[in-house]
Amino acid sequence: MADTWQVFWVALFTALATGLGAVPLFFIKNTELRWQSIATAAAGGMMLSASVFALADEALQRGRAVDVIAGMLAGALFFAWTAKLVERRGWGLGGFSEKKSRQSILLVITLFIHSVPEGMAIGVGYATGEVKFGWLLAMAIAVHNIPEGTAVSLPLRANGASVMRCVMYSVLTSMPQPIVAVPAFLLVSVFQPLLAISLGFAGGAMIFLVISELIPESLKGSTPTDVAWGVTLGLVGMLGFIAAIGL
């Protein structure tokens, strides 16, 4: 039987794995606007794929369709409200213009929310009493976090962030995992029923982010055809990755 410290350290490892998604940016030097836009579109495709084929699919396996739908609508409403709040307050992210800060802040907030149900899943997995099952689930989430880190980093890098800053923000988006995993492990009877609606909530917020922010931003620097290819390749690539790790 696992203890709370084991659950915490394993969940922390899954969060840190997100930073690996920024590593390819050390080798990408092309900063032409067209390629930045395509990269942003690809990140959007990855998020759409993760929302539908990972989050929503997992949610439907863990709860009723009505709960998942309610969660997704709540996530979309939350994102729309957050976007208006950020715009009204004029919050900035050090070194970015207010406009670029808005998109980056919304991206980080959305993926931060997305990590909450993943942390819950790790804790619930260990609470089954099967340590091997909990470990395998955590490893699947850790591997899944790597391309999510890439999805976080691509738009940030396009807005001028350093690679190390991309790593930092990528890891930040997954920090709810170790924070939530321990209480989910200790209070499995409370957290288990919340998984379906929480997964749906994260998925709905991510879908709204992609359609309202990332795709319009991509279209400013590239053609609709380029953006369509970016979204498609990102979506298909993430789908293949999800299928490969059996998430």
Please name the residues in contact with 42: beta carbons below 8 A apart, sequence gap of 6 or more. Answer: 154, 230, 231, 233, 234, 237
Lowest mean pLDDT: which of 21-35, 64-78, 110-124? Answer: 21-35
In this structure, are residues 179 and 115 in contact, taking their beta carbons and an 8 Å threshold? no
12 Cβ contact list (under 8 Å, min separation 6): 177, 178
Q: Which of 59-68, 126-135, 236-245 has the highest mean pLDDT?
A: 59-68
State pLDDT tens for residues 211-241: 987 898 789 888 999 999 999 998 998 888 7
pLDDT confidence bin for 43, thresholds 50/70/90: confident
Angle of helix 65-89 relative to helix 195-209, nearest 10 degrees? 50
Q: 137 vs 100, which has greater pLDDT?
A: 137
- Joined together, the tokens standing for residue 132 give 């091997």
Specify the pLDDT at position 173. 87
Residue 77 pLDDT? 93
What ranges do the domains of the chain cover?
4-245
Rounded to 10°, the helix 4-17/176-186 angle is 150
pTM of the model: 0.72
What is the DSSP-derived secondary structure letter of residue 222? S
Burial of 131 (C-beta count, 10 Å sphere; 0-12/13-18/19+): middle
* pLDDT confidence band for 73 (50 / 70 / 90): very high
Check residue 196 and give left, alpha or beta (phi > 0: left; psi -120 to 50: alpha). alpha
CA atoms of 186 and 177, how far apart (whole Å): 14
The average pLDDT across 23-28 equals: 77
- Alpha helices of 187-223 — where are they, by DSSP H? 188-191, 195-209, 215-219
Are the C-beta atoms of residues 103 and 213 closer than 8 Å to each other? Answer: yes
Confidence at residue 96, expressed as pLDDT on a 0 to 100 scale: 57
Q: 246: left (phi > 0), else alpha (psi -120 to 50), else beta?
A: left
Q: Look up tokens 């899944």; give the residue.
A: 144
Average pLDDT, the chain: 82
Distance in angstroms (rounded) separating the CA atoms of residues 114 and 72: 11
